[in-house]
Chains A and B, each alone.
Chain A
Amino acid sequence: MAELFIFFEQIYRILFLLIPVLVSVAMIVWLDRRVWAFVQKRRGPNVVGPFGLFQTLADALKYIFKEIIIPASANKIIFILAPIVTMTLALIAWAVIPFSETFVLADINVGILYLFAVSSLGVYGIIMGGWASNSKYPFLGAIRSAAQMVSYEVSIGVIIINVLLCVGSLNLSDIVLAQKDLWFVIPLFPMFIIFFISALAETNRPPFDLPEAEAELVAGYQTEYSGMMYAMFWLGEYANILLMCAMGSILFLGGWLSPIDLFPFNAIPAPIWLILKILFLFILFALIKAIVPRYRYDQLMKLGWKIFLPFSLIYVVLTASFLMYFDLLPGN
C-alpha cells in the first residue's frame, strides 16, 4: 500500500512539473512571435484571447485536426518515432531542473551530466526525421543539423567544465548554491557569451537555423511532416529552447537565487526568480532571431571549431590556474 502511495505521489509530482512546462511552452511561442513582430514594427498574434495569448492553443487545435501524411517511400516506424523522440527528450530533461532548494523532481548527483546527455541526444529526433522521410531536402537538413549540433556540444561541454571547476560538484542544486555570493556570469562572462551563442546553435535557432533554412531547404527535416507530428517537432524545439535558457540561468545567473539578498527581493518565492531569469534569456533569444541574419554554413563550423573551442579550452586553463593560485579551489 505504501509503495502504491509513493507511486501516485511521484506521478502527481511529475504532472505538477510537466503541465506547467507544456503550458509555458505554448506561451513562449506566443512571446517569441510577439517580440519578433515588435522588432519589425508589426502587431503579431493579437486576436485570439487577451493580447492573442491563446494563439498557440488555436494553432495546436488546428494541427490536431489536420491529416497526418506519411510519405509512401518513408521508413514508417522511424518516421513516426522521430517527433516522439524529440518531444520526449525535450521533456525528460526537466526532471533535474531545481526550481528551489526543495522543489526538484530528481536531485541526482550528476545532474549537469544528465542535462548535457539529454541535450546531446536531441540530435536523434532530427536525424531520424530527416532520414526516414526519404527525400532530398529533409536529408540535407538532417545531415547539416547533426554536424552542427555535435560541433557545438563540444564547446558547451568545455564551458560546463569551467563552471564545474568553480563549484566542485555535478549536482545542480550545489551549482546554484555555489553562486550565493557571486553569480558565475561575472567571473566567467566570456563563457556566458559563448554558452549563449552555442545554445542558439544547439537548438537550431536563428542565426544558426541552417537545418531548416527555408531559402535553401524548404523546411529542412520537417518538410515531409504534417499535422500533429509537425506540431510535436515544433513544441519539442521550443521546450528545448526553454531548457537551454534554464540551463544558462542555473549555470551562470544563479538559478533560483535572488540577485540581492535583501528584504523585498528575497521575499519573492525562489521559483519566480528562476522563471524570470529563463524569460530574460528567452527574450534575448527572440530578439536575436529578429535582428541577426542567418550564418553561412562554413562560417558556422569555423566559429564552432576554430574560435569557440580553443577559446573555451584556454579559459579552462585560465580558470584552473586562477583558482589554484589564489587557493580558491572548492573542496579544500
Chain B
Amino acid sequence: MIAHAIVFYIFSLIAIVSAIMVTVSKNTVNSVFFLILDFISISCLFIMIGAEFLGMIMLIVYVGAVAVLFLFVVMMLNVAQQKNEWFNSSGRSSHIPVGLLVSIIIFFELIIVIGGWKYKPDLLDSIAIEINTDLTNTQSLGSVIYTDYIHLFQLSGMVLLVAMIGAIVLTFRQRSGVKRQSYFKQISRDRKDGIELVDVENNKGVKIDA
C-alpha cells in the first residue's frame, strides 16, 4: 500500500510539474514535450486506479496521435525560437486579459464540479447501475456505452464527424493546373495512344498539341 502511495505521488508530481512547465517553458517545442510527459503520467495514474482501458486509450489517442500533430505543427510553423512573452513583457501583451477571463471561467467551473464531487464510498451508494466486479474494464465500459448511453455515444461521434468535415472544408483548396497522376490512365494506355507516326514534310515540321 505504501509503495502504491509513493508511486501515485511520484506520477502526480510529474504531472503537475510538467503541466506548469508547458506554460513556463520558453521554447514552444519543449512545451509540447512537457505536454507529452503530462499525458503519459496521467495515463499512468489512470492505470493505477484500475482504469487500464482509459489509460491505454489516453496513450494511443493523445500521445500517439494528437501530440504528434501538435509537434508537427509547432515544428513546421517554425515558432520554436519564439520566446514566451508572459515573463518578458511588461504588461503590454494583449493576450493576458483574454487568458485571464478564460482561466477565471474555468476556475469557477472547477469549483462547481468539485463542490458536487462524490468520493468513492458515497458514490457507490447513490448510483443506480449495478456494478459487476467480474467483468474487465473494457467489457464493462463497452456494455454501458453501447446499451444505456448509445444515443449520447452516437451523438458525440456525430460532433466529431462534423468537426472533421469542417476541418477538411476549411483547409481544402482546389488549385488549377496541377498535374496529377492517374493510375487508371497510365495502366490503360497502350501503344496506339502513346505513339503516333507522322510523315514530316521537309521544312514544315509537325505541330504537337501540348
A contact residues vs B (CB 8 Å cutoff): 75, 78, 108-110, 113-114, 116-117, 120-121, 123-124, 127-128, 131, 139, 142-143, 146-147, 150, 153, 157, 170, 298
Q: Is the CB of A121 within 8 A of B59?
A: yes
Q: What is the size, in residues, of chain B's interface with A at 8 Å between Cβ atoms?
A: 22
B29 interface neighbour in A108, A109, A131, A146, Cβ under 8 Å: A131
Q: Which 7 A-B pairs have the closest CB atoms?
A: A120-B64, A113-B56, A117-B59, A117-B60, A109-B136, A110-B52, A110-B56
A contact residues around B29 at 8 Å (CB): 75, 78, 131
Contact flags B139-166 to A (C-beta < 8 A → 1, else 0): 0000000000000000000000000000
Does B103 reach chain A (CB closer than 8 Å)?
no
A contact residues around B137 at 8 Å (CB): 109-110
In the complex, what distance in Å separates the CA atom of A75 from the CA atom of B29? Answer: 11
A277 to nearest B CB, angstroms? 25
Q: Given known contacts A121-B59, A121-B63, A139-B75, is B68 in contact with A113 (CB within 8 Å)?
A: no
B contact residues around A124 at 8 Å (CB): 36, 68
- Give residues 24-64 of B contacting A (CB, 8 Å): 29, 33, 36, 52-53, 56-57, 59-60, 63-64
Q: Is the CB of B56 within 8 A of A153?
A: no
Q: Is the CB of A113 within 8 A of B136?
A: no
Does B7 reach chain A (CB closer than 8 Å)?
no
In the complex, what distance in Å separates the CA atom of A118 from the CA atom of B59? Answer: 8
Q: Chain B interface secondary structure, helix, strand, loop or mixed? A: helix
Q: Given known contacts A114-B56, A120-B60, is B68 in contact with A127 (CB within 8 Å)?
A: yes
B27, closest chain A residue (CB): A75
B197 to nearest A CB, angstroms? 32
Q: Is the CB of B60 within 8 A of A113?
A: yes
A contact residues around B96 at 8 Å (CB): none
Tell me which of A114, A117, A120 has the highest count of chain B C-beta atoms within 10 A of its own C-beta.
A117
Does B200 reach chain A (CB closer than 8 Å)?
no
A129 to nearest B CB, angstroms? 12
Q: Is the CB of B75 within 8 A of A113?
A: no
A275 to nearest B CB, angstroms? 27
Q: Is the CB of B65 within 8 A of A150?
A: yes
Would you mind naming 19 contact pairs between A and B with Cβ atoms under 8 Å apart? A78-B33, A108-B52, A110-B52, A113-B53, A113-B57, A114-B56, A117-B56, A117-B59, A117-B60, A121-B63, A131-B71, A142-B75, A143-B75, A146-B68, A147-B72, A150-B65, A153-B64, A170-B53, A298-B181
